[in-house]
Amino acid sequence: VTTPRMTPLAFVPVDADEVQRRATAFHSVMMRRRTVRDYSERDVPRQIIEAAIATAATAPSGANLQPWHFVAIGREQSGLRTRIRTEAEQEEREFYTHRAPREWLEALAPLGTDWRKPFLEIAPWLIAVFVKPFGRQVDGRAVKHYYAVESVGIATGFLIAALHHAGLATLTHTPSPMGFLNALLDRPSHERPFLLLVVGYPAENALVPDIARKPLQDVLSFK
């Protein structure tokens, strides 16, 4: 076992009032995040997407194995975008008309979603997030990634928060199933598509479902 190499923590101390102010301010920013399904064609520069993915990649991960891969697909890849939309809509049409159990469709009803996914071609960016259940050492041996799904979930949360904080809208899209993304995006078969994040500016007068978040007392208990 190797001895760990340690380095000083670059912690920025903040006084207690400022901690309180930041906690509240961040909450009011995040409260305004909504899933947007109606996008404008306005462009988003590639560097913004890069910065947000760089933020996602700062997430903690089991044993620091960073079991994620992000594929960002701009609108100039119009052929690829069309293929992603076609495959997603094919799966989603099956899902909405045959595969989804009734309870699932009932849970989705307040959102007003259906199999049509025009945003997959309209929004300036798609970010496909993959989970890598294992990595490869230089000698080719497989290394298991511990808590891979949890780690990628946290990284995706960072990504959504970073994009929202920057002033962009996102849609967390999970075409069901989404194995077609491996082939279209040239990712190895052992990587699992986690979700497809749609990124851009909302269309003018975009509407969102009138749904509520659970009150804090229902989701939080102190002991």
Ligand X SMILES: Cc1cc2nc3c(=O)[nH]c(=O)nc-3n(C[C@H](O)[C@H](O)[C@H](O)COP(=O)(O)O)c2cc1C
Count of residues binding ligand X (CB under 6 A)? 11
Interface with ligand X by CB under 6 A: which range of 22-30, 34-42, 75-83, 98-106? Answer: 34-42
Which residue's C-beta sits nearest to ligand X?
Answer: 35
85 forms part of the interface with ligand X (CB under 6 A): no
149 forms part of the interface with ligand X (CB under 6 A): no
109 forms part of the interface with ligand X (CB under 6 A): no
The C-alpha angle 179, 181, 186, rounded to 5 degrees, equals 115
Closest separation in Å from C-beta 201 to ligand X: 16
35 forms part of the interface with ligand X (CB under 6 A): yes
34 forms part of the interface with ligand X (CB under 6 A): yes
Q: Which residues, other chains included, contact 84 with Cβ-Cβ below 8 Å and sequence gap of 6+?
A: 73, 120, 126, 180, 181, 184, 196
CB 131 within 8 A of CB 149: yes
Question: From residue 150 to residue 179, what is the string marking binding to ligand X with x (rule CB under 6 A)?
Answer: ---------------------xxxx-----
100 forms part of the interface with ligand X (CB under 6 A): no
Is the four-CA dihedral 198, 201, 207, 211 of positive or negative sign?
positive
How far, in Å, are 36, 117, 195, 205 from residue 40 at the CA level?
11, 14, 21, 10
Is the four-CA dihedral 112, 113, 116, 117 of positive or negative sign?
positive
The residues that touch ligand X, with contacts defined as CB under 6 A, are 34-35, 37, 111, 113, 171-174, 195, 208
